[in-house]
Amino acid sequence: MRFDRGTDLLVWSLLVLNGIVISVLSEILRRALHRRDVDRNLLTNVVGGTSDAIYVKDLKGRYLLANGAAASYLGRPQAEVLGRDDLAMLPAETALAIGKLDQEIIASGRTQTQEEYLVNQSGERILFQSTKGPIYDPSGAVVGLFGVSRDITKSKLAEERIQYLAHYDVLTGLPNRVQLDERIQHAIGQAADGGQKLAVLFLDLDHFKDINDSLGHSVGDALLVALARRLRGIMRADDMVARLGGDEFVFLLQGVDVGGLAQTAQRILDVVEEPFSIEQHELTVSGSIGIALYPDDSGDLEGLVKCADAAMYRAKQNGRNRYCFFTAEIEALTVRRMQVVSALRHALEQHQLTIHYQPQFSARDGRIIGAEALLRWHHPLLGQVSPEEFIPAAEDSGLIVTIGEWVLRRAVRQMKAWLDEGMAPFVLAVNLSTVQFRHPNLPAMVATILAEEQLPPQYLELELTESGAMHDPPAAIAVMDQLHEHGVRMAIDDFGIAYSSLSYLKKFKVYKLKIDQSFVRDISADPEDRAIVTAIIAMARGLGLRTIAEGVETQAQLEFLREHGCDEIQGYYYSKPLTAEQFGRFVHEVEPCAA
């Protein structure tokens, strides 16, 4: 006998709308099975076409109907399933759990949908979403149970994975930004109610990029994973450490004793500094930490992370491998820095940058033998901004690459113009930021500019700070070798403050050491500075390098340097940095000028 018209419609709905298959099938079974005239063959054909398990059981749990999918989950041919109960076909634990659920449904008299597990005879654990309901006879007595079960194992796993990815960092397994946000929101609520303080610590590794660049990303990743494990190991149960991305980690410490925070921060730094052994590399890294407090520094999540980030930046500026608490002064500096970076983005196109030139003199006869190009920035609102302020901002924002290239081109063009005008030849020194020096395109860029501006390379000298060269000596050697091949000279700037290793110094293709002005300043009064300067000059001689002293302001300084064999002098004693025009006049007026 056929189903009635309503049931036909439901069957079509079943075929068309897979998404609502469970509820449709439940309805078919409910209607069809309590009719005496049900055509079991037709029913079997209909339900046999779906991948959902469809079944009917009597009150003793014996299968009266099971489609192909149900039989396959039970691990038996369809014919063997009929008349058997779950206990005969499934491991006892699973069968009993299913039986318990079935009995609850029969007892309640209601159709219910819920998740249930089945462990089949092969031990495979399958998660179903099952809709089950009682079947009544015409007198209204419950005579059995029908069920439609859908295997949701894969979709559940996918859902769990999505949930995991939304809340955890894939690389380290630490909570991610989303989870941190949720935890901070919650913690702020609790702290506000209990009048407690919270601390947010922002940790950023020092020079982590260099590890990625020099040893590869797999080493960098392994280091982050190992570090995450260490950091998690030192956290109290209530605290949290999350990875924001890259080498940035944020700690949320609840119920803090502000007095003990410095110790906690130092403990984190100590843990970071312990050596890592990764792929045959013994690596030591350090980190910088910024600390912000709730409610003192900010009352909201974004503000706390921003304050901690700003304090971390200050810790880096103060020399790295240290922690720093957020203060009002840092807030003012952060605002100023943002203004500077934002204004600097337009400085080039708005022609606010110029170059000044400071002459360099032979210590022996006072003749001009060189000049240093020094960048100047005048902003219409900020006024004259010191390079000591804007160069670090340009480095951090990456703007230094474009600005540095502009400086080099302008300086080279100016030098070529002076030579073409007939000015007596000298060497023009241009500063290279460490960021520029690490840029893989640097040697090619220098060569291109020299070729395009038609300046022979012997007129150009590039100054790199000692700390920039010593940070990754093997990489520095490679870049210096390439520049040397292009015929460009290198000088080490600010020499004496970064404790150069002599063995590396010997391998650097450098021509000159520039003695840092901090040693020159007190040379007349400070015996230690005198000893250092004397030692630098002697060492440079031994290595066949020239020396130049910067920041020379007095006759006494000049005489000391001259007596001890310093080759070149730069400083206000002779001249401040000059505009290109002033420099041209200066050279014509002063030269030849014996001191």
Ligand X SMILES: Nc1nc2c(ncn2[C@@H]2O[C@H](COP(=O)(O)O[C@H]3[C@@H](O)[C@H](n4cnc5c(=O)[nH]c(N)nc54)O[C@@H]3COP(=O)(O)O)[C@@H](O)[C@H]2O)c(=O)[nH]1
- Which stretches of the chain bind ligand X, using CB under 6 A? 358, 372, 374-375, 386-388, 391, 404, 407, 431, 433, 463, 493-494, 550-553, 570-572, 577
Q: Compute the least distance from the CB of residue 173 to ligand X, in Å.
A: 40
- The span from the CA of 487 to the CA of 508, in Å, is 15
Q: Compute the least distance from the CB of residue 267 to ligand X, in Å.
A: 35
- Burial code (b: 16+ CB inside 10 Å, e: under 16) for 413-432 equals ebbbebbeeebeebbbbbbb
Q: Compute the least distance from the CB of residue 529 to ligand X, in Å.
A: 15
Q: Compute the least distance from the CB of residue 376 to ligand X, in Å.
A: 7
Give residues with Cβ within 8 angstroms of 530, minimum separation 6: 523, 560
Q: Compute the least distance from the CB of residue 448 to ligand X, in Å.
A: 18
- Write the DSSP assignment of 289-301 as a string of letters: EEEEEETTT-SSH
Two tokens, residue 359: 């002459």
Question: How many angstroms from the chain centroid is the CA of residue 85?
Answer: 57
Q: Compute the least distance from the CB of residue 494 to ligand X, in Å.
A: 5
Nearer to ligand X, 334 or 358 (CB): 358
- Give burial (CB, 10 Å; 0-12/13-18/19+) of 197: middle
Q: Compute the least distance from the CB of residue 522 to ligand X, in Å.
A: 12
Nearer to ligand X, 18 or 354 (CB): 354
Q: Compute the least distance from the CB of residue 519 to ligand X, in Å.
A: 12
Q: Compute the least distance from the CB of residue 265 to ligand X, in Å.
A: 30
Dihedral, 441, 416, 356, 332 alpha carbons, nearest 10: -20
Query: How crowded is the C-beta side of 199, counted as CA atoms within 13 Å?
Result: 24
- The span from the CA of 290 to the CA of 249, in Å, is 11
Nearest residue to 260 via CA among 179, 193, 201: 201
Query: How crowded is the C-beta side of 348, counted as CA atoms within 13 Å?
Result: 13
Nearer to ligand X, 12 or 572 (CB): 572
- 534 phi and psi, to 5 degrees? -60, -45
Bridge partner list, 116: 128
402 to 210, 344, 357, 433: CA distances (angstroms): 21, 11, 20, 11
Q: Compute the least distance from the CB of residue 436 to ligand X, in Å.
A: 7
Q: Where are the beta strands (DSSP E) in 394-541?
A: 427-432, 460-465, 489-495, 512-515
Nearer to ligand X, 11 or 411 (CB): 411
Q: How many CB atoms lie within 10 A of CB 344?
A: 23
Q: Compute the least distance from the CB of residue 571 to ligand X, in Å.
A: 3
Number of residues that this document lists for the chain: 595
Nearer to ligand X, 200 or 355 (CB): 355
Nearer to ligand X, 401 or 475 (CB): 401
Q: Compute the least distance from the CB of residue 238 to ligand X, in Å.
A: 46
Nearer to ligand X, 215 or 401 (CB): 401
Q: Compute the least distance from the CB of residue 585 to ligand X, in Å.
A: 19
Q: Is the peptide bond before 295 cis (omega within 30 degrees of 0)?
A: yes
Q: Compute the least distance from the CB of residue 572 to ligand X, in Å.
A: 4
Nearer to ligand X, 22 or 408 (CB): 408
111 to 26, 250, 401, 514: CA distances (angstroms): 9, 49, 69, 87
Nearer to ligand X, 204 or 493 (CB): 493
At residue 58, the 3 state secondary structure works out as: strand
Nearer to ligand X, 78 or 570 (CB): 570
Nearer to ligand X, 235 or 401 (CB): 401
174 to 225, 231, 232, 278, 285: CA distances (angstroms): 9, 10, 8, 20, 20
Which DSSP category does 236 fall into? Answer: -
- Give burial (CB, 10 Å; 0-12/13-18/19+) of 245: exposed
- The span from the CA of 206 to the CA of 287, in Å, is 5
Nearer to ligand X, 10 or 407 (CB): 407
- The span from the CA of 260 to the CA of 214, in Å, is 37
- The span from the CA of 548 to the CA of 419, in Å, is 23
Nearer to ligand X, 50 or 358 (CB): 358
Nearer to ligand X, 310 or 549 (CB): 549
